[in-house]
Amino acid sequence: MTIVVVSGNPRPHSRTLHLAEEVGGALAARLGLATPRTVDVGDLGVRLLQPGDGAVADAVAALRRASVLVVATPTYKGSYTGVLKVLLDQLPTGGLQDIAAVTVVTAGVQPQADAAQRNLRELLGELGAVPVEPGLAVIEGDLANAGAAAAAYVDSIAAGFSTVATEAS
């Protein structure tokens, strides 16, 4: 079983990425898996729009091979980012079939986080993924404690997650 962490923040090496990597690392430790691979759309930048780009093709292939995805995004106008959508649009219909997907959202306020969580779960479900409930939403003021938030979240989903992850593999 492999975990892939995806950060949909357009800025490379963002706080959203850090939180997502904390969640992925905590999941890997809990499930006894290798360190997750990370796909940072901020690093891919304009290559996301260049047909046939090797780094983008490699990222898409990694998503398709994953057993578990940790998909993170900051909230932009109540939803996920456009660059995350551009990456996910490169997947074929059903391209994430039966892959367990943990959603991680950062937002300024809770209602924005809730809206982005719903939209992201719907998008991943449309691609065939199995969203893990609940997702993790962290308000910007709490991002300084990303490790603690990730650990508490993984503890809260551990029992149910093992079942979902086993079904997805």
Tell me the per-residue pLDDT of 88-141, one tens digit each, with 9 for 90 and over: 999 999 999 999 999 999 999 999 999 999 999 999 999 999 999 999 999 988
pLDDT band at 159 (very low <50, low <70, confident <90, very high): confident
Whether 72 has a pLDDT exceeding 70, the answer reads yes
The Cα–Cα gap between 41 and 17 comes to 10
Dihedral (Cα; 151, 42, 40, 125), 10-degree rounding: 80
Say whether 93 sits in a helix, a strand or coil.
coil
Q: What is the pTM of this model?
A: 0.93
Q: What is the mean pLDDT of residues 12-24?
A: 96
Q: What is the mean pLDDT of residues 11-15?
A: 94
Contact 20, 72 (CB under 8 A): yes
CB atoms within 10 A of CB 46: 8
The Cα–Cα gap between 118 and 134 comes to 10
Closest CA to 142 of 101, 113, 103: 113
Q: Is the preceding omega at residue 134 within 30 degrees of 0, hence cis?
A: yes
Average pLDDT score over the chain: 92
The Cα–Cα gap between 17 and 7 comes to 5
114 Cβ contact list (under 8 Å, min separation 6)? 137
Tokens 């006894």, located at residue:
32
Distances (CA, A) of 145 to 15, 59, 67: 11, 28, 27
